[in-house]
């Protein structure tokens, strides 16, 4: 062991304040960038949908975050991989904002600054992070017949008012797929090969399938997310899709601007996650909490 470098890691459950719920994320603390092959090996070893690597950059005066899937794909955008990484740094009491302007907190991901705001839950004292995603860009619609077949559903199952499967983007382009009710949402049997073909043909990443609850329900929608293009069969919580969805629903008058809603995800995986979302004039807020489930050392 003498000639091997030890790196500390946490495993957190993100978009949850209970262990073994939410979306698990491994966060590895480094002293700077590692070789690409090392990132790939560690992400593959953990086997979670994503592994984030963090260090404080004195040059950038910010926390630097890089995230990889087990297949070696480097992930962009403000999702559970970023939220969990920031929570991990705050749990570890790294001073990630002290050299920044109080009204302009940010972290760096793939050389891009991503603005965010943080607080602490008054009861649990866990960090609560809100990521500020870009305003929503609504792209093209994809025929329901194409999507339904790839999800093992009938075309009629994809009927929610006037909503159609639509590519939407804040950080990353995903397709928003309306599903008639929870039963059909849970009945989805994705054909990964076909989903990958559709993603490549229409130039987007993942499929965010959602059903809208009635007004009495505490959450606005329940969702499932499939992104086999980057090696994620199903994800328990997806911030880069939740942001586009609340923007899309607000544009279509299903939700109100400047109002906080909660998206429920991960139920089918028995990893229920709650993602707090809000569509504002110039950005979209995506937030939540995380809890440490494991910590330890790994060796390179």
Q: 50-64, pLDDT tens digit by residue?
A: 999 999 999 999 999
Whether 81 is covered by a domain: the verdict is yes
Whether 94 is covered by a domain: the verdict is yes
Q: Which domain holds residue 204?
A: 137-282
* pLDDT value at 119 more than 60: yes
Do 80 and 193 belong to one domain?
Answer: no
Q: For residue 227, what are its two tokens?
A: 């992104």
Do 129 and 29 belong to one domain?
Answer: yes
Do 219 and 182 belong to one domain?
Answer: yes
Do 157 and 193 belong to one domain?
Answer: yes
Give the mean model confidence (pLDDT) for residues 75-101. Answer: 94
Do 116 and 161 belong to one domain?
Answer: no
Distance in angstroms (rounded) separating the CA atoms of residues 140 and 201: 12
Give the mean model confidence (pLDDT) for residues 102-111. Answer: 92
Q: pTM for the whole thing? A: 0.93
Under 8 Å between Cβ of 210 and 177: yes
Give the mean model confidence (pLDDT) for residues 159-171. Answer: 95
Whether 1 is covered by a domain: the verdict is no
Tally of domains within the chain: 2
Do 153 and 53 belong to one domain?
Answer: no
Predicted local confidence at residue 43, as pLDDT: 97
Percent of the chain with pLDDT over 70: 99
136 closest CA partner among 272, 299, 222, 255: 255
- Torsion sign over Cα 133, 139, 144, 145: negative
Whether 164 is covered by a domain: the verdict is yes
Do 115 and 168 belong to one domain?
Answer: no
Give the mean model confidence (pLDDT) for residues 150-177. Answer: 96
CATH for 268 = 3.10.310.10
Predicted local confidence at residue 102, as pLDDT: 87
Do 141 and 167 belong to one domain?
Answer: yes
Do 74 and 200 belong to one domain?
Answer: no
Whether 57 is covered by a domain: the verdict is yes
Do 77 and 195 belong to one domain?
Answer: no
Predicted local confidence at residue 124, as pLDDT: 86
Under 8 Å between Cβ of 248 and 165: no
Whether 219 is covered by a domain: the verdict is yes
Kindly report, residue by residue over 21-75, the tens digit of the pLDDT.
Answer: 999 999 999 999 999 999 999 999 999 999 999 999 999 999 999 999 999 999 9
* pLDDT value at 131 more than 90: yes
273 closest CA partner among 36, 80, 65: 80
- What does the angle CA 255 – CA 259 – CA 262 come to, to the nearest 5 degrees? 75
DSSP letter at 229? G
Distance in angstroms (rounded) separating the CA atoms of residues 142 and 155: 12
The 3-state DSSP class for residue 85 equals helix
Provide the β-strand partners of residue 282. none
Neighbours of 68 (CB within 10 A): 24
Give the mean model confidence (pLDDT) for residues 71-84. Answer: 92
Predicted local confidence at residue 78, as pLDDT: 84
Do 245 and 144 belong to one domain?
Answer: yes
* pLDDT value at 173 more than 90: yes
Q: For residue 137, what are its two tokens?
A: 């860009």
Do 236 and 185 belong to one domain?
Answer: yes
Distance in angstroms (rounded) separating the CA atoms of residues 85 and 299: 20
**CA distances in angstroms from 193 to 151, 166, 233, 236, 240, listed in the order given:** 11, 20, 11, 21, 22
- Mean pLDDT of all residues in the chain? 95
Residues taking part in catalysis: 50
* pLDDT value at 77 more than 90: no
- What does the angle CA 290 – CA 292 – CA 297 come to, to the nearest 5 degrees? 135
**CA distances in angstroms from 248 to 2, 100, 129, 178, listed in the order given:** 54, 32, 22, 11
Predicted local confidence at residue 248, as pLDDT: 98
Whether 202 is covered by a domain: the verdict is yes
Predicted local confidence at residue 1, as pLDDT: 54
261 closest CA partner among 227, 229, 293, 217: 217
């Amino acid at each position: 062991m003498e000639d091997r470098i030890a790196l500390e890691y946490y495993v957190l459950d993100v978009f949850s304040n209970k262990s073994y719920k939410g979306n698990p994320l491994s966060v590895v603390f480094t002293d700077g960038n590692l070789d690409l092959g090392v990132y790939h090996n560690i992400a593959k070893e953990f086997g979670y949908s994503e592994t984030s690597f963090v260090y404080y950059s004195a040059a950038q005066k910010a926390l630097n975050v890089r995230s990889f899937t087990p297949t070696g794909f480097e992930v962009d955008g403000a999702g559970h991989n970023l939220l969990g990484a920031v929570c991990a740094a705050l749990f570890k009491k790294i001073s990630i904002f002290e050299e920044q302007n109080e009204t302009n907190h940010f972290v760096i991901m793939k050389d891009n600054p991503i603005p965010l705001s943080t607080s602490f839950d008054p009861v649990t004292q866990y960090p609560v992070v809100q990521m500020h995603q870009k305003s929503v860009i609504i792209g093209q619609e994809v025929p329901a017949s194409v999507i339904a077949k790839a999800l093992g559903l009938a075309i009629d199952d994809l009927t929610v008012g006037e909503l159609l499967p639509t590519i939407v983007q804040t950080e990353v382009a995903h397709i928003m797929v309306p599903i008639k009710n929870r039963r059909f949402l849970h009945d989805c049997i994705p054909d990964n090969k076909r989903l990958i073909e559709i993603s490549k043909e229409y130039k987007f990443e993942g499929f965010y399938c959602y059903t809208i609850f009635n007004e009495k329900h505490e959450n606005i929608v329940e969702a499932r997310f499939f992104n086999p293009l980057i090696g994620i069969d199903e994800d328990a919580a997806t911030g880069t899709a939740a942001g586009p969805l609340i923007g899309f629903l607000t544009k279509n008058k299903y939700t109100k601007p400047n109002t906080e809603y909660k998206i429920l995800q991960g139920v089918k995986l028995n990893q229920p996650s709650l993602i707090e979302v809000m569509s504002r004039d110039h950005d979209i807020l995506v937030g939540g909490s995380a809890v440490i489930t494991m910590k330890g050392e790994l060796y390179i």
